[in-house]
Amino acid sequence: MRKFTWDQAFGWLGLALLAVGTYMGLFVAPPERYMGEVQRIMYVHVPCAWVGMVCYTFAFVMAIVSLWTHRPRHDAMVTGAIEVGIVLNALLLIQGSIWARATWGVWWDWDVRLTTSLVMLLLFAGVLALRSFVDDHSRRATWTAVTTIVAFIDVPLVYFCVRWWRSLHQVQSSPETVDPLMVLPLRLNAFAILFIAIWMMARRTRLEMARFRQEHVDEPARLEPAGGVQNV
């Protein structure tokens, strides 16, 4: 029997919530007045966007910490958060593309949030690409932290400039005008995906640490003094 770890609780809870939330989103919540059934993709789309941002923000915070402490654990957390963030980001783009096809009739639209997400994906994919080219652990950790900080700060800049550039996304609907039966599955799924993300990040961090230990566990052997005076 494998050892039970705290993050597995998050994993199972997240999967259960996701099942309930998605069921409610698909069968209980009423269809949206203008967009109809297609709008139900919102119940995974919006949570992916929220949690993806949470992951990147966490990566940014841990990058600053990692630059400060130089601890391998913090570097592992940065990497874990970026990787999970990228997966959610990619899902977000695919869902956004499906939604765009259904509502606007095109697979891609240069809407501000969709475009920002794409740039964000490329920014953080670049961080991982650079990381994969560096062998030395300490250098890899520092460079990952540096590029993560630089990339994260770019996100609001990209957002604003794309917004000026053009915009035709729906305005965020305020919760008051929405049926409570639509809000509930959205909330459930948001927590579900957050929990699953925490679970994956924790697993990823542990894997990265295991790799680090495998490479760094051995202490150097001590040679016997080969005659003469040992030191002064």
Partner 1 sequence: MRLLAQALTVVRKDLLLEWRGRSRIISVLLFGVVTLLLFSFAVGPDSIALRASAAGFLVLALLLSSTLGLSESFRLEQEQRAVEGLLLLPVDPIALYYGKAMSNTLFLMLLAPILTPVALVLYAVEIDPMRLLVLLGLWAIAAAGLSAPGTLYAAMTSRLQSQDVLLPLLLFPLVVPVLLGAVKAVALILTGDPMEQIRSWTILLVSFAVIYWSICGLLFPHAIEEGL
Partner 2 sequence: MTVETTPVVRATGLGKRFGRHWALAHFDLEVHGGEVVLLFGSNGSGKTTFLRLAAGLYKPSRGTMSVDGHDSVKERLECRRLLTMVAHDNYLYARLTALETLRVWARLLGSPARDSDLVPLLEEVGLAERRRLPVGGFSAGMKKRLTLLRTRLEKPKIVLLDEPFSALDVAGQDLVEGWVERFREEGRTVIMASHNLPRATKLCDRAIALEQGQNVWSGSGSELVEREAKAS
In the complex, which residues of this chain contact partner 2 (CB under 8 A)? 135-136, 138, 215-216, 218, 220-223, 225-232
Q: Quick one: which of 45, 50, 89 has its CA closest to 191? A: 50
6 vs 133, beta carbon nearer partner 1:
133
Considering the rule CB under 8 A, would residue 167 count as an interface residue with partner 1?
no
Considering the rule CB under 8 A, would residue 216 count as an interface residue with partner 1?
no
Q: Quick one: which of 95, 147, 96, 153 has its CA closest to 125? A: 147
| Distance in Å, CB of 212 to partner 2, minimum | 12
| Distance in Å, CB of 48 to partner 1, minimum | 20
Task: State the Cα–Cα distance between residues 161 and 163, nearest whole angstrom.
Answer: 5
| Distance in Å, CB of 214 to partner 2, minimum | 9
Q: Quick one: which of 68, 201, 66, 87 has its CA closest to 140? A: 66
Q: Which amino acid is at 104?
A: W
Considering the rule CB under 8 A, would residue 82 count as an interface residue with partner 1?
no
Considering the rule CB under 8 A, would residue 160 count as an interface residue with partner 1?
yes
**Encoding tokens for residue 105?**
């009739």
Q: Which long-range contacts (CB under 8 A, 24 or more apart) does 22-27 make?
A: 22/185, 22/189, 24/181, 24/184, 24/185, 24/188, 25/185, 25/186, 25/189
| Distance in Å, CB of 109 to partner 1, minimum | 17
19 vs 153, beta carbon nearer partner 1:
153
76 vs 114, beta carbon nearer partner 2:
76
CA angle 26, 44, 31 (to 5 degrees): 35
* 134 phi-psi bin (left φ>0, alpha ψ -120 to 50, beta other): beta
- With CB under 5 to 8 Å by kind, the binding choice for 130 among partner 1, partner 2, none is partner 1
Show the site string, 130-149: x = touches partner 1 by CB under 8 A, - = not: x--xx---xx--xx-xxx-x
Query: Could you list the residues that contact partner 1 (CB under 8 A)?
Result: 67, 119, 122-123, 126-127, 129-130, 133-134, 138-139, 142-143, 145-147, 149-151, 153-154, 157-158, 160-162, 164-165
